Structures are given as structure tokens and as C-alpha cells.
Amino acid sequence: MDWQGHNLHFSDHVIHYYGNGNVGKPALVFCHGFSDNGLCWHRVALRFTDQFDIYLLDARNHGQSSRGIASAEDMTQDLADVITALELEPVIAVGHSMGAGTVAALAADYPHLVAKMILEDPAWSDEDDTQKTKSMRKRAAGFAKYLEMIARLSDDQLLAMGRAQHPSWSLEDFPSWVQSKREVDGFALKGLIRSPWQTLIQNITCPALLLYADETSDGIVQQNVVDQILSLNPCFQCKQITGAGHNLRREQFEAYITAIEAFLN
């Protein structure tokens, strides 16, 4: 399927998105993780394209959206602005990692915009503020070196690196993955620290599904965090995807789809 690309112009920035043009059907909005882009959802979105009006958003400093320092709050506002401008509310919102944090913040701050939400391994842990700051600095330094490294690679070399790093992924996932790595900007990590996730959780009132990885994998959400979420908010269902890491949908695609279908039905 050829997703239709569009730009939404706001006062000082542009948000790019892809859609299937199913106007009149329920809106299903996807928010990607750090260093991905909207098209990185294409394999999942194809499973739902007949039932929903689909929107695959490029976050700021990713894909074809605007560049420049943007806070986590800016990204939440961007999502709210897109939904409002396109008159989609209330939507079903799906997010991975960074995008899951954006979706959760949207549901907490703009409850009238979200009917249901699905979160794929958001960056929620029990780290204290000092640990989070150290982790962010370390990640920023590593990201800068990563951008320098991939700039020296051809697309074929980048593809080969991705396939070596992620041998369990479908070949369908790699074209958009390579494209997204070409499009991510160095500004992407700046300003992304959010309010504590515990605060967000307590303000969410819509049905929510949290998908998380195996304890032994590179997943972020751990069982102790899941237990806290379930104790804080009865709106949440939590489902562990066996055999998956942080990229749940890319590593256990059918189990991921089954979990979403069960939640939506």
C-alpha cells in the first residue's frame, strides 16, 4: 500500500503524517519511538487499514516533520493539535517507547481526545531523577556517535547492519527503518524528559493496554512497574509478549497483533 503523505502547518513548525484516506471510519493514530518515523508502523497499520482511518505521524526531529529543540510537552501538544486540526477526536492512539509516552501524556492532559490507547514498552522505570539524568546524558553521547557512524554508511551497509542487529525482524520492517535513520535529527534527544509516569497514570481515564517485553530482554518496562500501574489505575490492562524485547511488534508480530485485536474488540 502507498501511504498518502501530508503536511500540517502550525505557527512555527510542520508536522508530517501518512494516512490511508478512510475518512468517516474510526481514527487510529500511531506515534513512533525514538529515531523511527511514521512509516515504521506500516506493517501493523496494514492489518487495520480496512477498519480504520489511519494516521502515521512523524514526531518533530524525525521523518519529514520540523527540526529544532522540542520538549516532551511540545510533542504532546503536537499530537493534540493534529487530532484537533483534522477533527478526529476521540481517537484510538498507539505509541511505542517515546511515542507511548506522548500518547499517555495526551490521554492524561486531553482526555476528550482519546477513546482508547495502546502503549508498546514506554520508557517507564523506577530510576530516580539522578539516574535518569545520567542515563539521558549517556544516551545523548551515544546517539551523537551513532549519527556520525551511520552517516558514513551506504543504505546497503546500513541495511546489513540492521539485519545483523535484529535477525528476528521481518524483512518488511527494514526499508522504513533505514529511511528513518536517515531522517532523524541530532536535536531529537534534547528536551525529552517527562513528568514522572506515576503522575500520568493517575490522570488517565480511558481504557488502556500496556504491552511489555520479557524480563530477560532489552525491554524497558519491568514487572514491578507493571504491578504499580495496575495498582494505580484500573483502566489499564497489561500484557507481556513472550519472546519479545523493546521492539515488541517487530520481534513477535502475530502475538502483538492478537493482543491489540483482543483489546479493540
Provide the pLDDT for residue 130. Answer: 67
Q: What is the mean pLDDT of the chain?
A: 94
Return all residues near 227 (Cβ < 8 A) that are at least 6 apart. none
**Residue 64, amino acid:** Q
H-helix segments, the chain: 42-48, 72-85, 98-109, 129-151, 155-165, 174-183, 197-202, 223-232, 248-251, 253-264
Res 55 pLDDT > 70: yes
Q: What is the pTM of this model?
A: 0.96
Q: How far apart are the first and last CA of the chain?
A: 25
Residue 211 · residue 263 · CB < 8 Å: no
Looking at residue 202, what is its pLDDT?
A: 94
Separation between Cα atoms, residue 110 and residue 74, nearest integer Å: 14
For residue range 89-135, list pLDDT tens digits in order: 999 999 999 999 999 999 999 999 999 999 999 999 887 666 666 76
Q: Which CATH superfamily is domain 4-264 in?
A: Alpha/Beta hydrolase fold, catalytic domain (3.40.50.1820)
